[in-house]
Each structure stands twice: as structure tokens, then as C-alpha cells.
Amino acid sequence: MTEHDQEHGAAGDLDPAAALDLPLARKTLDAQPFSRLVRAEVTAFGDGAATLEIPVRDELRQQNGFVHGGVLAYAADNGITFAAGTVLGAAVLTSGFTIQYVRPATGARLVARATVAEATRRQAVVRCDLFAVADDGTESLCALAQGTVRATST
């Protein structure tokens, strides 16, 4: 749930007090046009963690054939915000995040696994590991991200 979408809900109708679960997380992500464009999917959600997966296709690659860094940053931002949403609730904003690219992303799928490292009532610090997954299922760490997400009042 990115800054805008999680604060305002899926298509503007998410009740911040509603119980957040995997089906609702998927609905929220699907309400984001850019997420549909990259074909992102939330595959795990709850207990301070979230996993986002993106099938790699040519439109997501840069000129050397690697997954574009912007796609990795998108996955990190969304993974961080969704993971924070599991502990802070639906109304959250990403305050900021950093990303370190450690190797080019190649393969069939990109997986962003985010975990809340520390949280208070109003804020969460989240780590996100991004993996490129080969056709045979082998995972290679391609980027690390960390972000701070804060709860907003609605």
C-alpha cells in the first residue's frame, strides 16, 4: 500500500479500522494502476511482514537486459509500506527509504520480502530484501532497502 493508496484506501474506499489480511492487501495493490502495469502481486501479508512478486518481462528491463532499478525501487517501496501496514493499520505513509543495489537483477521473477524491524504505535522501520529468481527457483539477492513508515490520522 503505497503512500497515497494506503492512506486513502483501495480506490478510496478502504476503512482504516478494517482488519487487514491478504485478500484486502491484494485488493489494495490491484487498485493501483502502476501495480497492475508491472503485474505485481502480494503473495504474503501479515505479522509484520509482506512479500511482493513481479514477473520479469522485457518491458521491465533496462538497455543491458537487467530489471530496471526503478522497478526494484517500486517493489521495495510497496513491500516496505505493506509490511508496515500489518502493524500500523491501513492509513500509513512512507516517510522515506533507501535502497542499495548489490547485483543486477535477472531471471524470471522479482521478489521483495519486507519485515518490520521495529515499530511504535505511530511509526515502523522496515527492511526489504529484493531477490531475482531464476527459472529453476534459485534466488539471488539483488538489492537491500530500508524505510520508515508512519501512521496517519484520517
pLDDT value of residue 90: 87
pLDDT value of residue 32: 92
pLDDT value of residue 3: 41
pLDDT value of residue 23: 92
pLDDT tens for each residue of the chain, 154 residues long: 544 344 434 334 444 445 689 999 999 999 999 999 999 999 999 999 999 999 999 999 999 999 999 999 999 999 999 999 999 998 899 999 999 999 999 999 999 999 999 999 999 999 999 999 999 999 999 999 999 999 997 5
pTM of the entire structure? 0.86
12: exposed, middle or buried (C-beta count within 10 Å: 0-12, 13-18, 19+)? exposed
**CB-CB contact of 139 with 107 (8 Å):** no
d(CA 6, CA 20): 11
pLDDT value of residue 7: 41
**CB-CB contact of 133 with 111 (8 Å):** yes
CB environment 107-120: b (16+ within 10 A), e (fewer): bebbbbbbbbeebe
Element (H, E) at 142: strand 139-151
pLDDT value of residue 154: 55
Q: Which three cell numbers stand for residue 72?
A: 526494484
Element (H, E) at 43: strand 41-46
